[in-house]
Structure 1
Amino acid sequence: MRYIWLDDYLLKKKGVTKDLQPDWNWIRYHVGGKMFAAVCLDTDNKPYYINLKLDPVRGDYMRKMYADIIPGYYSDKTHWNSIRPDGAVPDDLLKDMLDESYRLVLENFSKKRQREILDITCCGSECSKCGCYGNICQGCNELCGKVFHAPPGKACPIYRCAVNRKHLTSCAKCEELPCVIWRDTKDPQLTDEEFETDIQNRIRNLLEN
């Protein structure tokens, strides 16, 4: 197979696991327990197809553009597509299609579950890196925003705005990012410079996912 980077590329995505389905001899890649890609192996364990999911309109277009992309092998042929592993599909295009497949499967989960899979909060913070996590706070996703620094019994202002009011998975899709609410929820232990760095880190976390 010419796409020798594929395994590393997929396993670097948040929440991805892989297994071998022995009856089919497929190496399957899952996000949140749902398959979004597979490498189909022959009896000599050599890849003969890479399966992935695409929007039906794009999938149909890709099949017309590339002879090495065909309707999904042993899969729903409306949504799934198979790519020949030694064909002429450019590496960057295959990466883009794998990204889309990952996104399509991830978006089928609830917004709360998506944040859990990505191990990120709606504001881009990583609860697992917080010194309070597991002690006085169980994390934003687990508590639906009602974290230790929020008003008693209420979600923090960012969570209330992004998730409860705008029904977004995170602030990543908000046109006001970073908004005045972000500015008003400054950690008093941070200097202004540290706070700006924190904001940029959180934005990067959101946009990378």
Structure 2
Amino acid sequence: MNIEELRDYCIAKNAVTEELPFGPDTLVFKVASKVFLLVGLDQLEGLSFNVKCDPEYAISLRQEFLQTVFPGYHMNKKHWNTVHANRELTDQKLLELIDHSYDLVFASLPKKIKENL
């Protein structure tokens, strides 16, 4: 997976916006103004990104994929993972982690906002 594929996948999701709120080097994807994925645009070696994750699932992923999934860099380590693409996980699994993050954030939105989306 490369950053263009990551971006295309994220912006194709319902009600997603992309922003650069932390400066020109960090692209942030949001659903209804809530962050579900962050990716650095200044990466030279490999692609990594931060995704939200159920806390128990986050720990499980970190234990199973020691070279690929880490506690979220500059994030709440209980709820966020940093995932390195093109290592132990297939592109399909990476997409599943993106979906999981999006779904967690979407589920946390107020009912009225969800209905409007």
Q: TM-score when scaled to structure 2?
A: 0.87
Q: Tell me, what secondary structure is at the counterpart of 2:20?
A: strand
> How much does 1:22 deviate?
4.5
SS of 1:21's equivalent in the other structure is: coil
- Report the equivalent of 2:23: 23
Tell me by how many angstroms 1:23 deviates. 3.5
Query: Does the alignment pair 1:61 with 2:53?
Result: no
- The aligned residue for residue 83 of structure 1 is 83
**d(CA) in 1 for partners of 2:4 and 2:18?**
16
Counterpart of 2:76 in structure 1: which amino acid? D
Distance 1:89 1:81 in 2: 14
* Separation in structure 2 between the aligned mates of residue 65 and residue 94 of structure 1, nearest angstrom: 14
User: What letter corresponds to residue 11 of structure 2 in structure 1?
Assistant: L
Report the more deviating stretch, 22-31 or 62-71.
Answer: 22-31
Asked if 2 retains the 8 angstrom alpha-carbon contact of 1:41 and 1:49, the reply is no
Q: Structure 1 residues 3, 48: CA separation in 2 closer, same or farther (over 3 Å shift)?
A: closer
Q: Is the 8 A contact 2:2 2:47 kept in 1?
A: no
**Which consecutive aligned stretches of 4+ in structure 1 deviate over 6 angstroms post-superposition?**
none
Per-residue CA distance 1:36-73 (angstroms, 9 max, x = gap): 0011233xx54652100110111111111112110000
CA distance in structure 2 between the aligned counterparts of 1:74 and 1:85, rounded to whole angstroms: 18
**Structure 1 residue 96 and structure 2 residue 89: aligned?**
no
RMSD: 1.9
CA–CA distance in structure 1, aligned partners of residues 3 and 88 of structure 2? 11
Match of 1:106 in 2: 106
* 1:115 paired residue number: 115
Gaps of 5+ in 2: none
Q: CA offset at residue 91 of structure 1?
A: 0.8
Distance in 2 between residues matched to 1:75 and 1:24, nearest whole Å: 18
Structure 1: where are the runs of 5+ without partners? 118-209
- Cα deviation, 1:104-150, whole Å, max 9, x if unaligned, reads 11111111211212xxxxxxxxxxxxxxxxxxxxxxxxxxxxxxxxx
Same amino acid, percent of matched pairs: 30
